[in-house]
Amino acid sequence: MKKIMLALACTFIFGCQGNSQKKNEVANTAKEAKEQYAVQKTDAEWKAELTAMEYYILRKAGTENPGSSDLLYNKEAGTYVCAACATPLFKSEHKFESGTGWPSFDREIEGNVAYSVDTAYGMTRTEEHCATCGGHLGHVFDDGPAETTGKRHCINGAALDFIPEK
């Protein structure tokens, strides 16, 4: 009987403390993320404005299947903008064929892309976000063209819209 009471007491003490701390951490993280972007909308507003794939990628940090983007082989001159808020993110002259199945660029439009650390899937990567609305774009790697920046911005095509040059 003493062992059962001790086990219940430990479960209650440690279980309650852990859950309340996690709720506060999640609330603080969500609040910080919401405050750092100029464009802020509710989840319902994002769902109403974006396609299902755009919402999945931009708001839930999803990834499209490789080779599925209409923008993958686009060779037109122009600017790639955020599909959520139209912030210019990448220029066509910095796009290159990486062979990965996602649109790739060797540099971003400075100041329009924000970065964070992504530790999902047991690895550490640099995640890219639209600096205006916080939408998830993809990741940046150090295996891009050595003759330019050496960077490969591996971007989900569904996170982008393309504006052709006039």
Question: Residue 25 has what pLDDT?
Answer: 40
Rounded to 5 degrees, what are φ and ψ at 153?
A: -85, 105
Distance CA 81, CA 52 (A): 18
The answer to whether residues 100 and 82 belong to one domain is: yes
Distance CA 10, CA 60 (A): 36
Domain of 19 in residue numbering reads as: 1-35
The answer to whether residues 95 and 28 belong to one domain is: no
pTM of the model: 0.79
The answer to whether residues 110 and 83 belong to one domain is: yes
Query: What is the token pair recorded at 65?
Result: 């299947």
Tokens 């002259």 sit at which residue? 93
The answer to whether residues 28 and 49 belong to one domain is: no
Name every residue whose Cβ is closer than 8 Å to that of residue 53 and which is 6 or more positions away in sequence. Answer: 64, 158
Domain count of the fold of the chain? 2
Contact 106, 153 (CB under 8 A): yes
Question: Residue 157 has what pLDDT?
Answer: 98
**133 is annotated as an active-site residue:** no
The answer to whether residues 104 and 159 belong to one domain is: yes
Question: Residue 36 has what pLDDT?
Answer: 83
The answer to whether residues 87 and 121 belong to one domain is: yes
The answer to whether residues 69 and 15 belong to one domain is: no
Question: Residue 89 has what pLDDT?
Answer: 98
The answer to whether residues 146 and 92 belong to one domain is: yes
Measuring CA to CA, which residue among 126, 129, 119 is closest to residue 58? 129
Query: What is the token pair recorded at 58?
Result: 């931009």
Q: What average pLDDT values come out for the chain (166 residues) when binned by 10 residues? A: 55 44 40 69 97 98 97 97 98 97 98 95 95 98 97 98 96
Per DSSP bridges, beta strands 78-82 and 88-91 are: antiparallel
Phi-psi region of 28 (alpha: psi -120 to 50; beta: other; left: phi over 0): alpha
Question: Residue 18 has what pLDDT?
Answer: 43
Distance CA 90, CA 165 (A): 13
Question: Residue 3 has what pLDDT?
Answer: 61
The answer to whether residues 129 and 105 belong to one domain is: yes
The answer to whether residues 51 and 21 belong to one domain is: no
The answer to whether residues 130 and 78 belong to one domain is: yes
**Catalytic site residue from 82, 85, 133, 154:** 154
